[in-house]
Amino acid sequence: MMLQDIKKNDEVKQLLRFADKQLSAIGYTEHSFRHVGLAAKNAGNILKELGYESRDVELARIAGYLHDIGNAVNRVDHAHTGAVLAYDILIRNGMPVQDALEIMLAIGQHDEQTGSAVSAISAALILADKSDVHRSRVNKKDESTYSIHDKVNYAVINSSIEIDNENKIAVLALEIDTDIVPVMDYFEIFLGRMSMCKGAARYLGLWFHLDINGTRLL
């Protein structure tokens, strides 16, 4: 089973639509096709850059695409719910148990409240997921209703996660419009995520660096 098969699966499509519907209703940023597509791409690229086998790369991509389907049930414990949902879908569609378990494990560990990097696939997923901060994720149209999360996401004009395998560095590079929010606001709400990224990078044998507006901070 490949990522292209997952993208065509109607059950997955509906779960992602319902996940975004619920999160939009409670005021969260976008967690649907854009976010999971980018997470899938970056998770796979991270392992590819590090020289992992093609199967691990593909499993990371699939984990990235499925990691937020648990939000269709509830935001609380969405990582654990999503892991079980994903395993069931993958097994029913013919994926070998070992591969489905790897994806289940990664999804179950991706939330900063309860998770940590315990495998290469989970580490790649964490880095890919937590690096997606961008104004396109803000669903609200009225800026007067923005939460601090909305403001910080809206202030990020560009974001990318890059792997320097030669120097063993993972770099999260952000371009933030400081006329919208000061850089300190980013740390106020995302410090836990950055700590999780640091641990994920360490699992992969990398140092984690944060670059904001061209200045290396971590």
Average pLDDT score over the chain: 94
Res. 71: pLDDT tops 70:
yes
**pLDDT tens-digit map of 82-93:** 999 999 999 999
DSSP secondary structure of the chain = --HHHHHH-HHHHHHHHHHHHHHHHTTPPP-SHHHHHHHHHHHHHHHHHTT--HHHHHHHHHHHHHTTGGGGT-STTHHHHHHHHHHHHHHHTT--HHHHHHHHHHHHT-STTT----SHHHHHHHHHHHT---GGG---S-GGG--HHHHHHHHEEEEEEEEETTTTEEEEEEEE-TTTS-HHHHHHHHHHHHHHHHHHHHHTT-EEEEEETTEE--
Res. 157: pLDDT tops 80:
yes
Lowest mean pLDDT among 42-46, 98-102, 117-121, 184-188: 184-188
The mean pLDDT value for 151-167 works out to 93
The vertex-169 CA angle with 199 and 171, nearest 5°, equals 85
pTM of the model: 0.94
Looking at CATH, the fold of the domain delimited by 3-216 is given as Hypothetical protein af1432 (1.10.3210)
> Using 50, 70 and 90 to split pLDDT, how confident is the model at 218?
low
The mean pLDDT value for 186-199 works out to 91
